[in-house]
């Protein structure tokens, strides 16, 4: 029980930290490519000694094929971060985060195409619910006004981020025997190398706010967050990590409201709730019947 409690605390902490990423990205005031570069570079500084201490850097820990798969997953994760952080400007942190949580459905689609996994009627039902949620968000427009190109672009970028996250998750299925901390290290090293030419050719950040937010994103929101997340995954059953993962979008939406005053239109709230409900149903394996009241007003579970 003590092990599970510790895992729950680690998972909650990791999700709360994740929920404040958007706030730091916006407050930093730096270009997205620069934000992602420093997140990767400083995250690597934290994860490298951790992997060394755990013995993951010893020869033979990972095979060449696994390295290349992890590199491909790292490229997908970097694309995911670039698109998601770019989405904040047009669609707000709350809307981008809600749309981003369509990622389980992207993974189901990729699994059907590349792994031959069957798409059941239950999964199609949740997919339809999430699609309706996205439509409600798109039709509402920014601040309940008419739809503009920047807002629509933000939604599309968030969907693109969800797709690349699903690609990374699909690749991760092939890396089951690889230490997760080592995978995370490879991901941030890939991001550092990919974005180094752009970051070094641009003016470096100046001022306490810029460096403070970038350092926090790298050390806390990447290095520490990954350590907490994978520590929790090792201690908790899958259904519990899936349930606790929905703390992240809730925190992000609340932070967006408190920090930037972004108030969602009622239809956007309904849309976001539909997406999160559908994502939870898909992740936790809920059936539609289990949500319906029983003949005596009780749950049919």
Residue-wise pLDDT for 38-66, tens only, equals 999 999 999 999 999 999 999 989 999 99
* Domain ranges across the chain: 3-283
Give the pLDDT band (50/70/90) at residue 1.
low
The predicted model gives 217-246 an average pLDDT of 90
pLDDT at residue 287, rounded to an integer: 78
The β-bridge partners of 299 are: 293
The predicted model gives 165-169 an average pLDDT of 94
* Helix runs in 101-237, H state only: 103-114, 121-140, 149-172, 180-201, 208-218, 225-235
pLDDT at residue 291, rounded to an integer: 59
pLDDT at residue 292, rounded to an integer: 57
Helix, strand or coil for residue 113? helix
Of residues 252 and 263, more confidently modeled:
252
CB 25 within 8 A of CB 217: yes
Residue-wise pLDDT for 172-231, tens only, equals 888 888 999 999 999 999 999 999 999 888 888 888 999 999 999 999 999 999 999 998
pLDDT at residue 276, rounded to an integer: 93
CA distances from 121 to 3, 22, 44, 124, 288 (A): 37, 35, 42, 5, 10
pLDDT at residue 177, rounded to an integer: 83
Other Cβ atoms less than 10 A from the Cβ of 280: the count is: 18
Residue-wise pLDDT for 255-277, tens only, equals 999 999 988 888 889 999 999 99
Q: How many Å apart are CA 92 and CA 204, to the nearest integer?
A: 26
Give the pLDDT band (50/70/90) at residue 164.
very high
The predicted model gives 21-28 an average pLDDT of 96
- Residue 35 has which token pair? 């934000």
Q: How many Å apart are CA 231 and CA 248, to the nearest integer?
A: 17
pLDDT of 300 over the 50 cut: no
Helix, strand or coil for residue 293? strand
Give the pLDDT band (50/70/90) at residue 296.
very low
pLDDT of 234 over the 50 cut: yes
- Residue 202 has which token pair? 């641009």
Helix, strand or coil for residue 76? helix
pLDDT of 119 over the 50 cut: yes
Q: Which of 147-151, 203-207, 252-256 ranks highest by mean pLDDT?
A: 252-256
């Amino acid at each position: 029980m003590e092990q599970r409690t510790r895992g729950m605390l680690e998972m909650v902490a990791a999700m709360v930290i994740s929920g404040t990423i958007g706030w730091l990205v916006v407050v930093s005031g730096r270009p997205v490519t620069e934000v992602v570069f420093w997140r990767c570079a400083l995250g690597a500084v934290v994860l490298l000694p951790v992997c060394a201490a755990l013995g993951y850097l010893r020869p033979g820990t990972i095979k060449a094929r696994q390295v290349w798969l992890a590199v491909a997953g790292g490229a997908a994760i970097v694309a995911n971060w670039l698109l998601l952080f770019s989405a904040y400007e047009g669609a707000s942190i709350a809307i981008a985060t809600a749309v981003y949580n369509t990622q389980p459905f992207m993974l189901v689609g990729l699994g059907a195409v590349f792994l031959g996994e069957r798409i059941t009627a239950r999964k199609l039902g949740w997919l339809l619910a999430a699609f309706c949620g996205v439509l409600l968000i798109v039709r509402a427009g920014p601040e309940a006004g008419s739809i503009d190109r920047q807002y629509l672009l933000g939604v599309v970028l968030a969907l693109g981020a969800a797709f690349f996250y699903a690609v990374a998750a699909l690749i991760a299925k092939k890396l089951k025997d690889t230490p997760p901390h080592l995978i995370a290290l490879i991901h941030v090293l890939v991001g550092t190398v990919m974005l180094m030419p752009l970051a070094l050719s641009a003016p470096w950040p100046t001022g306490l706010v810029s460096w403070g937010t970038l350092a926090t994103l790298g050390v806390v929101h990447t290095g520490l967050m990954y350590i907490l997340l994978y520590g929790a995954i090792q201690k908790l059953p899958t259904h519990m990590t899936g349930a606790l993962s929905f703390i992240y979008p809730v925190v992000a939406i609340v932070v967006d409201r408190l920090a930037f005053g972004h108030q969602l239109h009622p239809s956007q709230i309904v849309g976001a709730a539909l997406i999160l409900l559908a994502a939870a149903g898909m992740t936790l394996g809920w059936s539609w019947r289990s949500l319906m009241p029983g003949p005596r007003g009780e749950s049919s579970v």
